[in-house]
Structure formats: C-alpha cells, structure tokens
Chain A
Amino acid sequence: MNDARARIEDFLSDYVHMIDDDRLEEWPEYFTPDGLYQITTQENYQADLLVGILSCEGRGMMSDRVWAAREANIYEPHRYCHLLGRPRIDKEDTGAYRVRANFTVVRTMQNGDTGIFVSGKYLDRIVFEDGEPKLKERRVILDSRRVDILIVYPI
C-alpha cells in the first residue's frame, strides 16, 4: 500500500502539472481507454442528477475536447494553477483504489487578473494497468454551482 500510495500521489501531481503546463494532448492518457471524466457541481452531485457541466466517456471524447480547445473553441487566453490537497486513498476488494482529494484552481487571465476559479474535490477510482496508475473514473465536484465566464480546459 505504501508503494501504491506513493505512486498514486505522484500520479495525481503529474495530472495537475500536465494541465498547468498546457500539455493537454497527454490528458486522455491519464485515463483507462474507457475512463470516465465528469465535472459537476456539489448541488447536482448531492441530488444524484445526471447532467453536470461536462462529461466524457472514454479517451475519444477527451481527445475531442482537446481538439476543440485547440482548434474550434474561441476564448481569451488564460492558465490554471492547481493546488492539490493530500489525498485519502482506500483500496477496494476489486484491487482498484478509491481516492478523494481537495483542489483549488487559481486562474490567471492574459491581462494579469489572478483569482480563485474553482474549488472542490476529486472523487477518483484508480486502477493499475501494466503497472501504471490510470483513472477509471474522475468525478470533479465543484463547490459552487456558478462558473465564471467559461470552462474550456479540464480541471
């Protein structure tokens, strides 16, 4: 477990650095091929509502998102800085790990405005595939129901 914990913690750090460093093309590789990625709000999550803010099933939908962010969508340049809390990691009987960690994303706009963009928690299921940790599920639960301007990059 200690070895697994260290590897999972590194993996979670690598994920946020990948986004903060704008290496979005690598993003789908953090998931299993059929991995699930969702962004929703605490309000929807608690009410068990199916639609949140964004939902990708499988790497294909994730790479479409990356393509759209690079080629199709139009928005003002900005960058993220993720601050990650220490994760709680529990092993399931299936061998997968349930992981929960708090995050804050600070967003900086091109004009220099820096401010807290979102806060919330990651609810993850992580499996080891060929010895590598991968996200089978990542549910991003935002504390607020309200998004400032737009979300185009993953969290």
Chain B
Amino acid sequence: MTADNAMPLHWPEGDVTRVPYGAYSDPELYALEQQRIFRGPVWNFLCLEVQLPNAGDYRTTFVGEMPVIVVRDENGVINAMVNRCAHKGALVCHKERGNSRSLTCIYHSWSYDLRGKLEGVAFAKGVRGKGGMPADFDPGLRELEPLRVEIFCGLVFGTFSPETEPFEAYMGDAIGGFMKRNLNRPLRLLGSHSQILHNNWKLYAENLRDSYHATLLHTFYSAFNINRLDMEGAITLSQKGWHSISHAKRATLRADKEYKGANVHATKSDSKLAGPQLLKSWEEFDDGITHSIQTIFPTAAVQFILNSLAFRFFVPRGVDKTELFWIYLGYADDTPEQTRMRVMQSNLTGAAGLVSLEDGCINEFVQRGVRGSETHSAFMEMGGRDVASSEGSRATEVAVRGFWQGYREIMGIA
C-alpha cells in the first residue's frame, strides 16, 4: 500500500505550512498514528529513574494509548514491557506503582519475572492429572511484549522499533547537549499532577513548539518580563526538525514598540507583584538563558522557566482528549533556599500556572473551532515556510513546521 492512497485527508505535497484540520479529529488517522508514530522509530518518555529507586519498583504508564510497565529488576536494570498479559490480555499491573518480586496477572495467576519472561502458569499441569496446558506449550513464546529502553540524564525512554536510533543520536548534539545542561545531575522529585485537555494530542505538540503564541496568549509572561520576544533568544531545531529548543535571556529585554501596539493584549498592565517572592530567582547558568522549552518528539518537553525545572509529557486519551503530566524537579544538592524558589516558581506552570493555564483551553478552542472544517487547513507561515533553526527571532512557527516535518516523515505523507 502506498502512503498516498492509504492516508486519510488531503496533505498538500511537501508543504509543512498546511495541515488539514481533520488531522485533529479523524479516527482513521488517529489509529494509524498509534501504529506508525507511537510504535514507530521514536523514543517515548516512560518515567524518571528517580521514580524507581529500588529493585522491584514499578510504575505503569502509556505509549500512545498502549499501557506499559516500567520496572527495575534485581540487577538494577530498568525494563519496560506492554502491560498486557500474554494469556487473555488483561492488565498485569493494575496499580499505578508499587514494588514486587514478580509481575502476576490477577486474572489467572500467570506470573512473569521483572524482565517480562513467563515464570509460572497456574495449573499448567492441570489438577489431579486432568486439564492443563498442551504438552507442546512453550512459556518462552509467551512473554510480555518488551520495549527497548534507554536512560538519558535520569529520564527513561522506550521504543518498540528496532530502527530507532540510539537516544543521543535521535536528539542530536545541540538538543542532547542542552538536555545535559539541564538534567545531567541527580534529580529530586518535587511533585506532579496532570491536566485533561479536550483536544487532539498534536495540538499540544504544536503548542509546545509555538514560541509565537507564548507571550501573546500568556500575558503574565510579558507583564512581568519573564519571557518576551524582544529579549535575545532563538529557536534551535534538531537536524530533521523533530525536536526543538526555544530560549530567551531575560537580562537582554529591549522593550520593543511592537508590544505597545494596541492590539497586543499582552501588555495592557505593568502592575508590580504584591507577592514578589513568586519570581525570586537566581542565575543558575552562565549562558544567560533564563527561559527554555525543549521538546522531545513526539510527546515530551523539558521546561526551565527562571529556576522552575519541570518535565512535561502527554498521553493521547482518544482523538479529542489528551492528558498532560507535569513533573516538577530540583537537583538533589539544592539548598533549602533554592528549593523554596523552585517551589514558588512552580506557580508559573501546571494546571493553575500563571503563564500556562491558558493552554488548558486554547487547544480545545482550536478543536472546537475547526469542527465542520475538516478539509480546510491551518496556515503556518510565520517566520517563513522553511524548517531550520531561527537564530535571531522567535516570532516564528518554524518549530511547529519541524513537528509536522517529523510527523509526515514517520507517517509516510509525501
């Protein structure tokens, strides 16, 4: 089958500035993504290494819609497998996390070791010599379906595809290097929660890469000079455009006249904070970067906003529903004062985040806005029509086009 006649919707050839609105609601496309993207040549975020400190610790998560177990075995190795019993397909782990010496399906007590190998089948030899499995039953053929796992900077990733490149090559030097800047030290988990977005997962993937909207929609950003397009900044793309970094340097604010334009809602107030401890911060790095959002194709990102370090990942829960997880982090060697600043700044993002809560609804507004217009297309030519790093300006949709370039490549859309 060729991509062209199998692919739902009309995709103008080679044009990453256009996306048919039906891409956010088409059930056939959604099903195809589960196979081609999530089981395809990508690294999916599974959990943090620090969430599995001990042998036998496990967590359940999702790759696309598929339920997955991540577990640390007796040798300290982290393994991942589909959370689906090789017998009838029931969830093997029905709790979100725990500690266990083996993984046992509660339905018929099939039991697996921490690598997913089948160890025991209840009544395999029958009862009183009757029943039981056929003589040629081979437990070696009935394991939990494994994922290949890689750990990078304390983050655990998994992939189904043998073709996925090693993680560092997948990210590329520039983006992988920035991840090391942010995460290559022992991490401390500060807290987490999640948020339901009533929109297709790709709208949030775009939203994360959309440096154009950030200071327009999230007016708290510009009102308090946390992130503005008139600060020095850039968009860095990985070689194929799949992953991106948007960064800004707060100390370089120029207060350009464009923000004073009457139509930019973002600057209608210059109020001072009554509780300035919200933004109390320190310079953690000597590169001057005080704001960054780094995306990892397809469904993850690292944020570093002032000192607020967090990992975000999102899980499709249906064609028009997405669960967004926020995991707040510090470093194991943070001082109490540094921890306190990270805790205060965590108010900026999350489901109630002063600079992020709008994303809880804005993607839903697109989902609702395009209803009935499935054959019309989004128009994304801000900053040009190309997919290349943007050194001077973040008034661009280049990283969003990069996402679509990656998506089309993997999906087989010409």
Chain A facing B: main interface SS: mixed
- Chain A contributes a number of interface residues (CB within 8 A of B) equal to 38
Of A51, A55, A62, most buried by chain B (CB within 10 Å of CB) is A51
- A53 is an interface residue with CB less than 8 A from chain B: yes
| Whole-angstrom CA separation of A58 from B274 in the bound complex | 9
Point out the residues of chain B lying under 8 angstroms from A52, CB to CB. Answer: 191, 193
Interface residues on B, range: 35 or more
Cβ of A145 within 8 Å of any chain B Cβ, yes or no, is: yes
- How far is B273's CA from A49's CA once the two chains are assembled, in angstroms? 26
Contact B352 A41 (CB under 8 A): no
Q: Does A152 contact B (CB under 8 A)?
A: yes
Interface members, chain A 140-155 (any B CB < 8 Å): 145-152
Which residues of A84-100 have CB atoms within 8 Å of chain B's CB atoms? none
**B343 interface neighbour in A55, A64, A68, A146, Cβ under 8 Å:** A55
With A and B bound together, what is the CA distance between A76 and B365 in angstroms? 9
Q: Is A44 an interface residue (CB 8 A)?
A: yes
**What chain A residues lie within 8 Å of B198 (beta carbons)?**
149
B193 touches A44 (CB 8 A): yes
Do residues B352 and A74 form an inter-chain contact, with CB atoms below 8 A? no
Q: How far is the CB of B250 from chain A (nearest CB, A)?
A: 18
Is B217 at the interface (CB under 8 A from chain A)? yes
Residue A12 interfacial (CB < 8 Å): no
B327 to chain A, nearest CB (A): 9
- Provided the pairs A72-B223, A145-B192, A147-B194 are in contact, do residues A51 and B328 lie with their beta carbons within 8 angstroms? yes
A71→B191 contact, CB < 8 A: no
Docked pose: A73 CA to B353 CA in angstroms: 10
> With contacts A39-B352, A54-B347, A64-B275 known, is A74 near B192, CB below 8 A?
no
Contact partners of A104 in chain B: CB under 8 A: none
List A residues 102-155 near B (Cβ within 8 Å).
Answer: 145-152
B195 neighbours in A (Cβ, 8 Å): 146-150
Q: Closest CB of chain A to B149's CB: distance in Å? A: 25
A61 located at the interface, meaning its Cβ lies under 8 Å from any Cβ of chain B in the complex: yes
Q: Give B198's nearest chain A residue, CB to CB.
A: A149
Name the residue among A52, A54, A67, A150 with the largest chain B CB count within 10 angstroms.
Answer: A150
Q: A-facing mask of B352-383, CB < 8 A → 1, else 0? A: 10100110111010000000000000000000
B177-199 to A contact mask, C-beta < 8 Å, 1/0: 00000000000011111111110
Given contacts A63-B275, A68-B220, contact A146 B196 (CB under 8 A): yes
Known A-B contacts A50-B190, A50-B343; the reply to A57 vs B275 at CB < 8 A is yes
Give the interface of A toward B (CB within 8 A). 39-41, 43-44, 49-65, 67-68, 71-76, 145-152
Q: A50-B343, A63-B274, A151-B351 are in contact. List 20 more A-B contacts (CB 8 A).
A: A51-B191, A51-B328, A53-B193, A53-B351, A55-B346, A57-B344, A58-B277, A60-B273, A61-B274, A64-B274, A68-B220, A73-B354, A73-B358, A74-B219, A147-B194, A147-B196, A149-B361, A150-B351, A150-B358, A150-B360
